[in-house]
């Protein structure tokens, strides 16, 4: 960790804040604003305090370590595409045909020796100080959002093993601090940690868990990487760094953790005990609600002599996970191609919250090929959580050129090219009527087959003046992509009735409208496409909220409630505390950039 801090500092990618900053909201708000800057930096808080606990901490806090493309490359020590190429070479390794080929293969095989973690005995830096008198409140664990259920460990590397000890797992799960020696274990139903937990629960045995904080930041990225089921994530660390991860056994349980960790929280989970966890402002930009989750009883805390506490903040994009997600999509492209061989490239835009939106470029070989791809994607590992997928042909613009690729897509949208299906959703998804299960949207944009005449486009004021007398709910309006075959009209409403009824009333303007997107007028700026995409892909369930008629398509991206036959509790946005923001501006700890704050719905 100290090496990484010096590396960031020497590359002008670290901001050191020596002023006292509160772990309750203040740190998270500073990091939240910083990573949205075009020149964002990692943040090192050297004097954390807690006014609530009347404490000063001697452990500095590091945030936004993955806060830019440059910082992420420094942590990986190479370009993500270089790592992807190495994986692709391994996947396509052929038997040697001559002596020189054999020598080349020997090098590849010798390099693989560094993949496997190495276990050592004795002592390690992460165990220089051993605390069996446990008080988690002595650690500068942050409360991120005003309505959070408490303080949460947000950059914890959660190490677990199967009940027979044969399989290990590294996951990244949030951990709520209940009191001095108990943590909430937010194992989502589909995660490997939860699978192991079910083994212990069935056997009626306590489950060992160790949570490492700090050390090489690459451990954190490995913990959220979509590795195949049953593979230990630290194998990926060895492949990338070309050196073995070095592990040592925890002091009070059988779990092995990296020797260079700054802080290790050891303990056991009793499968007969659960406690309400949450709410928590999560990476969707919404709060996840209270639910019962397992509890970890902490048996020991070990640290380095001078540890650094690592934390992150999640909420509305863009945040640190933008850069972690970029590395993931680049590195895992070769593995995705093994399931979809004609895949050329893909992107998961951060304002699509990654699992909510994917753009994929493919070599189209036959009719229906793209729809075959949709089913393949929805059946593969973490790709199965993707809710909305757009597939384009190999002649499409670069996927990262969002203006051009969106033009290309809009010229190829028709009802005939749309597939609405259903399947599993991420546990954090709030839009679907059922937890963890809901609608999926796939659009085949590989063919230029839209033959209908272009719409007669009115300017925004003319269109609003025609619409508002017919539907009084309409309060704002903005059109996009009017030069394409699928002009988009975003309509802000103060919803008094079902959106489907408004959609039907506006059908009289079908010669002017093709794709209508409805959002809540009081929560959205219809002139801000970046945040509109965030809102829309978060708020819709394809089976319920997409209305299809020939050349007239509607999307209901409003918040849902009883009038929509939605029986679950709709969560609130993660919004910064305005009093905290004002104080941080006065202390010059965040930029008083009103346009930036407005643009990202801060």
Report pLDDT digits (tens) over 206-234: 999 999 999 999 999 999 988 877 889 99
Which domains are seen in the chain, by residue range? Answer: 69-76+116-311 (2.30.110.10), 320-445 (3.40.1670.10), 460-564 (3.40.1670.10)
- Given a cut of 60, whether residue 453 has pLDDT beyond it is yes
pLDDT above 90 coverage of the chain, percent: 84
Prediction pTM value: 0.93
pLDDT of 2-43, one tens digit each?
Answer: 999 999 999 999 999 999 999 999 999 999 999 999 999 999
Confidence of residue 111 (pLDDT cuts 50, 70, 90): low
CA–CA distances in Å: residue 364 to residues 329, 367, 443, 519: 21, 8, 14, 34
Give the residue-averaged pLDDT of 113-132: 92
Tokens of residue 287, six digits:
């709060």
pLDDT score for 384 = 86
Q: Output the average pLDDT for the chain.
A: 93
- 92's CB contacts (< 8 A; 6+ apart) are none
Neighbours of 375 (CB within 10 A): 14
Token pair 């269109």: residue = 463
- Given a cut of 90, whether residue 94 has pLDDT beyond it is no
CA 30 from chain centre, in angstroms, equals 20
Residues facing 302 on adjacent strands: 130, 264
Residues facing 298 on adjacent strands: 267
pLDDT score for 100 = 47
pLDDT of 364-423, one tens digit each?
Answer: 999 999 999 898 888 877 788 899 999 999 999 999 999 999 999 999 999 999 999 999
DSSP assignment of 78-103: S-HHHHHHHHHHHHT-----SHHHHH
- Given a cut of 70, whether residue 105 has pLDDT beyond it is no
Closest residue by Cα to residue 207 from 120, 299, 118: 299
pLDDT of 253-291, one tens digit each?
Answer: 999 999 999 999 999 999 999 999 999 999 999 999 999
pLDDT of 37-71, one tens digit each?
Answer: 999 999 999 999 999 999 999 999 999 999 999 99
- Given a cut of 60, whether residue 96 has pLDDT beyond it is no
């Amino acid at each position: 960790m100290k090496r990484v801090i010096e590396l960031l500092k020497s590359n002008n990618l670290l901001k050191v804040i020596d002023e006292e900053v509160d772990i309750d909201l203040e740190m998270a708000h500073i990091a939240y604003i910083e990573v949205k800057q075009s020149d964002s930096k990692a943040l090192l808080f050297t004097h954390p305090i807690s006014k609530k606990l009347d404490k000063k901490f001697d452990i500095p806090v590091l945030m936004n370590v993955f806060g830019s493309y440059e910082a992420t490359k420094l942590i990986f020590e190479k370009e993500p595409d270089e790592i992807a190429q190495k994986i692709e070479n391994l996947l396509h390794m052929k038997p040697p045909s001559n002596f020189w080929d054999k020598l080349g293969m020997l090098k590849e095989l010798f390099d693989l020796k560094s993949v496997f973690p190495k276990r050592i005995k004795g002592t390690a830096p992460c165990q220089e100080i051993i605390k069996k008198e446990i008080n988690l409140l002595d650690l500068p664990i942050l409360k991120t959002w005003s309505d959070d259920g408490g303080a949460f460990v947000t950059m914890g590397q959660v190490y677990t093993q199967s009940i027979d000890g044969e399989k290990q797992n590294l996951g990244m799960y949030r951990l709520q601090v209940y009191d001095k020696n108990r943590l909430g274990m937010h194992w989502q139903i589909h995660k490997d940690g939860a699978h192991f937990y079910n083994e212990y629960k069935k056997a009626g045995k306590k489950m060992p868990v160790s949570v490492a904080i700090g050390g090489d930041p690459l451990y954190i990225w490995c913990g959220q990487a979509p590795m195949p089921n049953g593979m230990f994530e630290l194998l990926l660390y060895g492949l990338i760094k070309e050196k073995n991860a070095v592990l040592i056994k925890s002091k009070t349980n059988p779990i092995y953790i990296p020797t260079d960790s700054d802080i290790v929280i050891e303990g056991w989970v009793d499968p007969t005990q659960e406690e309400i966890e949450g709410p928590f402002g999560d990476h969707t930009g919404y709060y996840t609600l209270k639910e019962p989750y397992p509890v970890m009883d902490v048996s020991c805390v070990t640290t380095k002599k001078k540890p650094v506490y690592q934390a992150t903040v999640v909420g509305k994009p863009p945040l640190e996970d933008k850069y972690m997600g970029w590395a993931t999509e680049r590195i895992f492209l070769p593995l995705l191609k093994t399931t979809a061989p004609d895949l050329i490239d893909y992107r998961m835009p951060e304002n699509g919250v990654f699992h909510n939106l994917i753009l994929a470029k493919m070599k189209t070989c036959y009719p229906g090929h793209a729809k075959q791809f949709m089913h393949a994607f929805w059946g593969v590992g973490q790709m199965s959580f993707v809710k909305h997928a757009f597939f384009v042909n190999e002649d499409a613009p670069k996927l990262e050129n969002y203006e051009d690729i969106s033009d290309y897509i809009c010229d190829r949208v028709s009802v005939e090219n749309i597939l609405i299906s259903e399947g599993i959703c991420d546990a954090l998804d709030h839009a679907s009527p059922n937890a963890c299960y809901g609608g999926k949207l796939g659009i085949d944009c590989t063919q230029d087959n839209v033959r209908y005449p272009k719409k007669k486009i009115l300017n925004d004021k003319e269109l609003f003046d025609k619409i508002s007398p017919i539907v009084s709910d309409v309060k704002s309006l903005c059109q996009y992509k009017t030069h394409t075959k699928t002009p988009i009209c975003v309509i802000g409403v103060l919803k008094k009735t079902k959106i489907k009824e408004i959609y039907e009333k506006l059908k009289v303007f079908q010669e002017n409208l093709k794709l209508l997107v409805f959002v809540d007028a009081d929560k959205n700026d219809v002139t801000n496409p970046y945040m509109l995409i965030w809102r829309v892909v978060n708020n819709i369930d394809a089976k319920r909220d997409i209305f299809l008629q020939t050349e007239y398509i509607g999307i209901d991206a409003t918040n849902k409630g009883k009038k929509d036959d939605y029986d679950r509790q709709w969560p609130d946005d993660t919004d910064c505390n305005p009093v905290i923001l004002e104080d941080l501006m006065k202390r010059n700890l965040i930029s008083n950039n009103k346009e930036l704050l407005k643009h990202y719905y801060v």
